[in-house]
């Protein structure tokens, strides 16, 4: 997956988990929880979707790496390099 595809995948997962949130203008450098209303359960749902869709295991101590879209890209890019983009809504 490319960096752009990783961003699309994360945004798609967020849209599935929090369909009422406007994700069209997310700042990739800012913490997601500062931009949209995501509680700790929503965040766990994101991690679970990554596991379900891409077989990615994110240890709890690494959750902080997924705080922003850019953080997600940096953390997930090596893990998703050979994966195909999946849409969470279609999974």
Residue 86 scores a pLDDT above 60: yes
Q: Please state the rounded mean pLDDT for residues 28-45.
A: 94
Helix axis angle for 3-17 and 69-80, nearest 10°, is 120
Q: What is the CATH number of the domain that holds 15?
A: 1.10.1200
Q: Please state the rounded mean pLDDT for residues 46-54.
A: 94
Phi, psi of 82 (to 5 degrees): -105, 15
The pLDDT-based confidence of 90 (bands split at 50, 70, 90) is: low
Instruction: State the pTM of this model.
Output: 0.87
Provide the domain count of the chain.
Answer: 1
The pLDDT-based confidence of 89 (bands split at 50, 70, 90) is: low
What is the residue-averaged pLDDT of the chain?
91
Residue 26 lies in a domain: no
Range of the domain at 17: 3-21+31-86
> Do 73 and 7 form a contact (C-beta atoms < 8 A)?
yes
Q: Please state the rounded mean pLDDT for residues 15-43.
A: 94
């Amino acid at each position: 997956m490319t960096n752009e595809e990783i961003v699309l995948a994360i945004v798609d997962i967020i849209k599935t988990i929090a369909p009422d949130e406007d994700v069209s203008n997310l700042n990739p450098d800012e913490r997601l929880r500062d931009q949209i209303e995501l509680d700790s359960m929503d965040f766990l749902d994101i991690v679970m979707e990554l596991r379900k869709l891409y077989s990615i295991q994110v240890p709890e101590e690494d959750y902080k790496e997924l705080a922003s879209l850019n953080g997600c890209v940096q953390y997930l890019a090596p893990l998703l390099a050979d994966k195909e983009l999946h849409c969470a809504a279609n999974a």
